[in-house]
Amino acid sequence: MKLRDMTELAVRNLREAILRNSLTTLGVAVGVASLVAMLSLGVGLQQLATSRLSKSGLFDSIFVTPKTNLRGPGAGPPATRAAAPKARLLNEDAREELTKLPNVIEVYPQIRFFTEVRFDGKPYATMVAGMPESSKASGSFDGMQGNFFSSANVDEAILQVEFAKELSPQTSSLIGKDLVLRYAERQALAVPGDSAESGGFSVVPKEKHVRIIGVVETEPASGFGGFGSGRLLLPLQLAETLRAAQVNDLRDVLRDTSGDKPAYASLTVRVKSPSLVDATEAKIKDMGFGAFSLLDASKSLRIFFSVFDLLLGIFGSLALAVATLGIINTLVMAILERRREIGVLKALGAADSDVKQLFFVEAGVMGLAGGVLGVFFGWLIGRTLTLGTNIYLKRQDLPGVEISAIPWWLIGGAIGFAVFVSLVAGLYPASRAAKLNPVDALRYE
């Protein structure tokens, strides 16, 4: 039997029982829709998490710390232990050396210090954090009130919303107003006879006037370990020029570091691409510094979403399994109704394989139509969930997100899977139809 004749015969048979076949096709569509909707949520959430983390700069950043000298007072006599390398200071010289590494786009320190803020004649204690200019693209400042810093060293400040509410219930009214920072400036003490060295540092009270230019909802990260680090944000270059005393200053005194070139507690090194992190991290370790990145955490994140997608796919396939039973039922009923037709086909010379192919074509058509409709219904469910989520977020004064995504591989995979399941469901009915005796089929009433 020719393919064209078989196709025409299959389409005619589907039309004759259009209601039953339509309901069976709709069952396949519902199964595919549940599968596509669940997987689209998994894909959408994964893309959302990945894009937010990528924009934050964490995946292309390396956290650098100084290595401590392992030779301590209780480490045992020198003859019984290997000599430890001298600890390298993470100072300005080291920062310049790191900046010259290939594929490095910026190197900046984490600057955080306590301060007293004077606003409207009242004092407020808070934590100040320096933010690099690249943090503007991190997504943390999307939807903020006001604007980001106009330049890298301008006397401007951005307030975290909870701290802004302490200053005024109407946070938007703070934009454009001035406040005063009272902080402790670190000043080096020169050793007599050698102005290039330092014998420690002194702390001098200072004041700095800044203008509020924005209010941000979240507490942006100022490098690794900087989440929730500052409620008052300054441009990083401005924060560096303040030379405010920080937590690591006491450690610097114990290590007898240079006052002209103070040591950093840590530096964040950003490279051009996440694929360059491993190589750059290895070079930094060879220089004698400690270094780590968040690539391991991102691998764990991918494993989590892979398992999440697998579970969603399993639960979504349950509805498709129910639809498979519907296809089997429909085709078995078609055999009972079309026994005489099958007998006539065999009497006219149709082989068993022709009868099988006829039922396979009918099952495949229902699977194809159900797959296409299911993808559309799944997309519609995903868009509805996204719309409902964004309405809720808007009421909470939060930016909208895309929680559902249907890539091309999911569309093709869902339709192909529906056709495959339909063909598998047609195996038993097709085999049963092919085994009918033509004489018995012609006698059937």
pLDDT single digits (tens) 58-116? 677 888 888 754 444 444 444 444 444 455 778 888 888 898 998 888 888 888 888 89
Asked if residue 306 and residue 373 are part of one domain, the reply reads yes
**Band of the pLDDT at 252, cuts 50, 70, 90?**
low
**Band of the pLDDT at 372, cuts 50, 70, 90?**
very high
CA distance 69 to 56: 33
Asked if residue 313 and residue 386 are part of one domain, the reply reads yes
Asked if residue 125 and residue 258 are part of one domain, the reply reads yes
Instruction: Tell me what pLDDT residue 178 has.
Output: 92
Structure-token match 């949520």, residue found: 41
Q: Considering Cα of 277, then 280, then 283, then 288, what sign does the dihedral take?
A: negative
In the predicted structure, residue 53 carries a pLDDT above the cut 70: no
Asked if residue 381 and residue 317 are part of one domain, the reply reads yes
> Based on the structure, what is the number of domains in the chain?
3
Identity of the amino acid at 39: L
Asked if residue 75 and residue 50 are part of one domain, the reply reads no
Asked if residue 121 and residue 253 are part of one domain, the reply reads yes
Can you tell me the mean pLDDT for 28-56? 77
Asked if residue 133 and residue 93 are part of one domain, the reply reads no
Q: Are strands 267-271 and 61-66 parallel, antiparallel or unpaired?
A: antiparallel
Asked if residue 203 and residue 66 are part of one domain, the reply reads no
Distance of CA 417 to the CA centre of its chain: 28
Domain extent, residue 286, equals 60-107+267-293
CATH classification of the domain holding 95: 3.30.70
325 vs 420, more confident: 420
Instruction: Tell me what pLDDT residue 247 has.
Output: 60
Instruction: Tell me what pLDDT residue 380 has.
Output: 92
Q: Assess contact for 267 and 250: CB atoms under 8 A.
A: no
In the predicted structure, residue 250 carries a pLDDT above the cut 70: no
Q: Considering Cα of 237, then 239, then 243, then 245, what sign does the dihedral take?
A: negative
Asked if residue 407 and residue 271 are part of one domain, the reply reads no
**Band of the pLDDT at 213, cuts 50, 70, 90?**
very high
Can you tell me the mean pLDDT for 263-288? 83
Asked if residue 217 and residue 120 are part of one domain, the reply reads yes
Asked if residue 158 and residue 124 are part of one domain, the reply reads yes
Q: Assess contact for 426 and 21: CB atoms under 8 A.
A: no
In the predicted structure, residue 221 carries a pLDDT above the cut 60: no
Can you tell me the mean pLDDT for 293-319? 69
Share of the chain above pLDDT 90, in %: 8
Asked if residue 138 and residue 158 are part of one domain, the reply reads yes
CA distance 115 to 125: 6
pLDDT tens digits, one per residue of 385-404: 889 888 888 887 777 788 88
